[in-house]
Amino acid sequence: MIINETLPYLTAAHLGLGGRIKETPSDFEVEEIPAYDPSGEGEHLYLWVEKTDMGAEFFSRQIARRLNIPPGDIGTAGLKDRRAVTRQWVSVPVKAETGLPGLEGEGIRVLKVTRHGNKLRAGHLRGNRFRVLIRGASQDVPLAPVLDAIRQNGLPNFYGSQRFGRNGETLALGWNMLMGQSVKVRNPFMKKLTLSAAQSYLFNRVLTKRMSDGLFRTVLAGDVLAKWPAGGMFTNTDVSADQPRFDAREVVHAGPMFGKKTFPTTGVAAEREQAVLTESGVPTEAFDKFGQLLSGTRRHNLVYVEDLAAEWEPEGLRLTFTLPAGSYATVLLGEVMKSEVAGDDSPDAVDG
């Protein structure tokens, strides 16, 4: 049974500033950090596009319609928020070049055009830069302790509530499917999205338990550790050796996106993960019948926000920061505001 749980705050000892986000699209700016730069040559046009107040699916449909190409010919690295101004790469076949003048307008601006040899694929990005205005934030509440705690300890890498759909509908569908109930989802993308929401929910539960037990900055025997900011994974066999590496930001512990091929923990760490599955009523074999849709992986339990900065403006508090691909700005904003921060679209491609 799914419980509507409130995620714990890393900075729970400090008051929040309150406030409001996304009152206008320009209050929330997102700029994609690509995994690579286009080569300038090839059979695919790479368009550096700015969209305003436009959902990801509607955005793709508009590109297809205005360029008169099939939706499947469009490549993007990640989904972006609707109520925002976002900038990202989009790839289309070179044959669409003559239609580019018709792409401009009504929420879409083409800022740059180049070429590359391959179609842009989901996940081909390193992260996103955010510039967010919090209107109505209180200047009477100390801000520095919250920002310092995030800078020093890292941000819990929870999935934001928008990952689970409006009123949790995406999660409910995926959960029922995972638990063996008869659910009809014909679209393969939607089937993966819903199942991944169930994985994401369980990831959040494991991380919540870790934080509740005061183990957010602790390496456990048998933990899976991943090199930071990117790199291979390995299982801890010597806490005395790996805790200093964790403290030095060389590695981070990685939580489960449960699946048949999830990199396994051992010992205490494995017992804790199994306990969450048991408490949630999920049999281990539930993941086996979905094949590649639920192959499983690991996700960093925390991310470091090296460039987190804040400045007061006449309209409110302006935060700027960069997050890795798949991490949620709303989680960081929740730490500052201490309130439920709703989003509209998943910011990046589906994990799992």
Residues forming the active site: 81
Closest C-alpha to 127, from 82, 85, 88 = 88
Number of other residues whose CB lies within 10 A of the CB of residue 257: 23
Number of other residues whose CB lies within 10 A of the CB of residue 129: 15
Tokens matching residue 82: 């609707």
Instruction: Give 83's DSSP letter.
Output: S
One-letter amino acid for residue 308 of the chain: L
Residue 21: CA atoms inside 13 Å, Cβ hemisphere, count? 31
Tokens matching residue 43: 């059979």
Please spell the DSSP secondary structure of 304-327, one letter per residue: --TT-EEEEETTEEEEEEEEETT-
Cα separation of the two ends of the chain: 21
Tokens matching residue 346: 């998943």
